[in-house]
Amino acid sequence: MSSGLHKKIESLRDQIRHHNYRYHALDDPEIPDIEYDRLLRELQALEAEYPELITPDSPTQRVGDAPISAFGTVQHELPMLSLGNAFSEDELREFHRRVLDKLELDDQAELKYAAEPKLDGAAVSLLYENGVLIRGATRGDGTTGEDITHNVRTIESIPLKLLGNGYPDRLEVRGEVFMPKAGFDEYNAKARAAGEKTFVNPRNAAAGSLRQLNPKLTAERPLDMYAYSVGVASGGTLPRRHSEIIDQLQEWGIKVCPERRVVIGADGCLEFYKNIGERRDALSYEIDGVVYKVDSLDMQAELGFVSRAPRWAVAHKFPAQEELTEVEAVEFQVGRTGAVTPVARLKPVFVGGVTVSNATLHNIDELHRKDVRVGDTVIVRRAGDVIPEVASVILGRRPSGTRRVQLPKKCPVCKSHVAREEGETVARCTGGLFCAAQRAEALKHFVSRRALDIEGFGGKLVEQLVAADRLKTPADIFQLSTKELSELERMGEKSANNLTASIQASKSTTLSRFLYALGIREVGDATAASLAAHFGKLKNVISATDEELQSVADVGPVVASRIRSFFDEQHNLDVIDRLQEYGVEWPESDPVKTPKDGALSGKTFVITGTLPTLTRDEAKETIQEAGGKVTGSVSSKTDYLLAGEKAGSKLAKAERLDVTILDEAALEKLISS
């Protein structure tokens, strides 16, 4: 086998390692992804043709191991010690004073510390021999860990071979494996959609991923790693400052935290802590504090250790973001769009720097998935300004006699029905115009340009009048007087007169604008126009059945059910009556007449795909003119499916239900017959 082939393969490997370094360690790629993929595919093709040339450190060999049956153990040559903690400025200054005393330095000494965020992940040890990764291990108890080599090899940011030269013959790199926030959210969303178990937090996600027996499962998870120190280093030399060692690791291709700094004294540490704390929520990864290490290795050796922790380092922790507390009640809140959301009322607990007594449970499915019950002991989590949430339940502490929480049938605010559409996670109050919780947003919509178009009636004014309990329904707008308006903050007499004139002018509108202004879910201005044109009169829309509503262009079964639900609420009908009493009016017309007798009378159609000459609306009109009815979904009641090109799931369902399938020509023949 030619030496040229060896050189070609090694050249490809070196290029790929270099670009991995630029992408993962420096976050500064030199080439586009497509060029990187080309290099990787070329190497894969050569290794497939010459498998005897494959080496364990090749970039293609990240996931090659078969699943293991159990984890082996690793004895750490140098213990992976834990750090002492500081929870306040006073405790940090006390740590600094002890360091100065031990080193026999005065208070004015400019002692340098290497400072970096304390990542909330899983500590690991990586052993390189002659620059090649040969072993990965967990921290374990600090003395003995688990062999996770098969899993750390799957993490893209961990080099299988170090770059450059000058590294010790044996080099143990220590760092934190973590799951970035975006990857954690994406992974949980996919798991939730698939009905699989989700992770409680990114720390558990990282630890759990490293303890998979099958490396292919670990490879599917978005893990990353930052190195923070060196353990064993033999057969070579390293710089004598911690910060310079970390810089050197980066040059060898190992990813390190970009937020690291060298600071001076306790004041420098506290300034770094404050700065990172302010930017904590914007970081792409979770942290739970800051770590300070005396930068000089000679000083570290002089300071030594106490018990199981070094005297030369400390973790300055942020206020806890997770705590245990008890659920005292589960209540349901109604949002501005009618969404009915469960909220846990908690025994007050200090978490994330504030006292928390309420936490979101997101929706009824999430509540049932976590199975949160009144009386449960739960882990509550708070991150920055994010609304606190119940992360999980401690089932071992559940008292006897607890009951599963159910979605209320009536809105807790207005007592209207609570409805939940099939396939939706959110349940909603059907109170619409009547529900106080939805009032402000409903009113803003009502006065908007495409609705009743009341010029000068902005959102701030709506909120001001709602807060004063002066506006409860849209009908109250037409009872506002010029005098009352002129007395409002930032509303002079001239502005009040202009607004009153706009309110009066808006009374003369159109049926389509009025229907749109009512704020019925899924009824936009186009659908409102179709309803107005089809039914001609409001009373006809109000009394229309689901089937009659679905005979309108743009109205399928979902929209029809929402229209029907809205008008089935007496509260909404009362508001409409008041609006008409106060003078809101529009011209009405006769409804569109659908032939009762025709070739397709009594037959129900569904349309799917692209037809040769007709648009879907034209096909729908053709069917309706012949007396047929068009609906949006296939069911056992469907008589015909009119199918064009690229027909999808509706065609498959029609075939399963043995529904007669027509093309455009067959439809024309059916009508003419």
CA atoms of 103 and 291, how far apart (whole Å): 20
Calculate the alpha carbon distances from 20 to 39, 224, 253, 431 in Å: 12, 13, 8, 56
Give the angle 421-426-428 at the CA atoms, nearest 5°. Answer: 75
DSSP 426-473: -EEE--TTS-GGGHHHHHHHHHSTTTT--TT--HHHHHHHHHTT--SS
Tokens representing 115 are: 């400072």
Residue 187 has pLDDT above 60, yes or no: yes
Amino acid at 327: V
* Cβ atoms of 587 and 510 closer than 8 Å: yes
Question: What's the pLDDT tens digit per position in 203-246?
Answer: 888 988 998 888 888 888 999 999 999 999 999 999 999 999 99
**Which burial class, exposed, middle or buried, applies to 400 when counting CB atoms under 10 A from its CB (0-12, 13-18, 19+)?**
exposed
Residue 612 has pLDDT above 90, yes or no: no
Distance of CA 70 to the CA centre of its chain: 34
Residue 576 has a pLDDT of 95
Question: What's the pLDDT tens digit per position in 428-480?
Answer: 898 876 787 888 888 989 999 889 999 999 888 988 898 888 998 999 999 99
Calculate the alpha carbon distances from 482 to 3, 457, 471, 501, 509 in Å: 94, 13, 15, 9, 22
Residue 386 has a pLDDT of 61
Q: For residue 535, name the pLDDT band (cuts at 50, 70, 90).
A: very high
Own/partner long-range contacts of 380-383 (Cβ < 8 Å, ≥24 apart): 380/322, 380/323, 380/324, 380/325, 380/344, 380/346, 380/349, 380/351, 380/356, 381/201, 381/321, 381/322, 381/351, 381/352, 382/321, 382/322, 382/351, 382/352, 382/354, 382/356, 383/281, 383/286, 383/321, 383/352
DSSP 478: G
Amino acid at 1: M
CA atoms of 604 and 662, how far apart (whole Å): 13
Residue 656 has a pLDDT of 85
Q: Which domains does the chain have, with CATH numbers?
A: 3-53 (1.10.287.610), 84-317 (3.30.470.30), 322-397 (2.40.50.140), 430-592 (1.10.150.20), 604-672 (3.40.50.10190)
What are the phi and psi torsion angles at 625 (to 5°)? -65, -25
* Distance in Å from the first CA to the final CA of the chain: 78
Q: Flag whether the pTM goes above 0.85.
A: no
What does the pLDDT average to over 536-549?
92
Residue 407 has pLDDT above 90, yes or no: yes
Residue 125 has a pLDDT of 96
Task: State whether residue 316 is helix, strand or coil.
Answer: strand
CA atoms of 646 and 59, how far apart (whole Å): 42
CA atoms of 547 and 52, how far apart (whole Å): 70
Residue 289 has a pLDDT of 92
Please name every residue paired with 325 in a beta bridge, in sequence order, or none if there are none.
378
Residue 604 has pLDDT above 70, yes or no: yes
What is the H or E stretch that residue 515 is in?
A: helix 511-517
Residue 593 has a pLDDT of 59
Amino acid at 454: I
E-strand spans in 240-283?
261-264
Q: For residue 649, name the pLDDT band (cuts at 50, 70, 90).
A: confident
* Cβ atoms of 629 and 622 closer than 8 Å: no
Amino acid at 389: E
What does the pLDDT average to over 271-296?
93
Neighbours of 584 (CB within 10 A): 20
Q: For residue 26, name the pLDDT band (cuts at 50, 70, 90).
A: low
Residue 64 has a pLDDT of 55
Residue 595 has a pLDDT of 53
Residue 581 has a pLDDT of 95
Residue 354 has pLDDT above 80, yes or no: no
Residue 68 has pLDDT above 90, yes or no: no
Q: In terms of Cα–Cα distance, which of 136, 140, 142, 206 is closest to 172? A: 136
* Residue 142, Ramachandran bin (φ over 0: left; ψ between -120 and 50: alpha; else beta): left
Calculate the alpha carbon distances from 615 to 147, 229, 418, 553, 624 in Å: 64, 67, 37, 12, 14
DSSP 93: H
What's the full length of the chain, in residues?
673
Concerning whether 118 is annotated as a catalytic residue, the answer is: yes
CA atoms within 13 A on the CB side of 538: 19
How many percent of the chain have pLDDT more than 90? 47
Q: For residue 594, name the pLDDT band (cuts at 50, 70, 90).
A: low
DSSP 23: I
Q: For residue 353, name the pLDDT band (cuts at 50, 70, 90).
A: low
What does the pLDDT average to over 481-496?
88
Tokens representing 390 are: 């119940």
> Is 672 or 226 the better-scoring residue by pLDDT?
226
CA atoms of 337 and 451, how far apart (whole Å): 17
Residue 600 has a pLDDT of 85
CA atoms of 527 and 242, how far apart (whole Å): 67
CA atoms within 13 A on the CB side of 75: 1
E-strand spans in 278-414?
287-294, 305-306, 309-310, 313-317, 322-334, 339-351, 354-360, 377-381, 389-393
What does the pLDDT average to over 512-520?
93
Tokens representing 420 are: 């939940």
Tokens representing 227 are: 């190195």
Question: What's the pLDDT tens digit per position in 1-21?
Answer: 567 788 888 888 888 888 877
Please name every residue paired with 360 in a beta bridge, in sequence order, or none if there are none.
343, 389
Residue 526 has a pLDDT of 78
Residue 139 has pLDDT above 80, yes or no: yes
Question: What's the pLDDT tens digit per position in 292-304?
Answer: 999 999 999 999 9
Residue 336 has a pLDDT of 66
Residue 97 has pLDDT above 70, yes or no: yes
CA atoms of 472 and 614, how far apart (whole Å): 47
Q: What is the mean pLDDT of the chain?
A: 88
Residue 466 has a pLDDT of 85
Task: State whether residue 195 is helix, strand or coil.
Answer: coil
DSSP 114-182: EEEEEESSEEEEEEEETTEEEEEEE-TTSSEEEB-HHHHTT-TTS-SB--SS---SEEEEEEEEE--HH
* Cβ atoms of 408 and 347 closer than 8 Å: no
Residue 582 has a pLDDT of 95
Question: What's the pLDDT tens digit per position in 297-324?
Answer: 999 999 998 767 899 999 998 876 788 8
What are the phi and psi torsion angles at 89 (to 5°)? -60, -40
Q: Which one of the listed residues 112, 118, 317, 629 is annotated catalytic?
A: 118
Residue 597 has pLDDT above 80, yes or no: no
* Cβ atoms of 384 and 399 closer than 8 Å: no
> Is 402 or 604 the better-scoring residue by pLDDT?
402
Residue 372 has a pLDDT of 96
E-strand spans in 167-248?
170-178, 224-234
Q: In terms of Cα–Cα distance, which of 16, 41, 45 is closest to 31? A: 16
Residue 404 has a pLDDT of 95
Residue 492 has a pLDDT of 85
Pairing label, strands 122-129, 261-264: unpaired
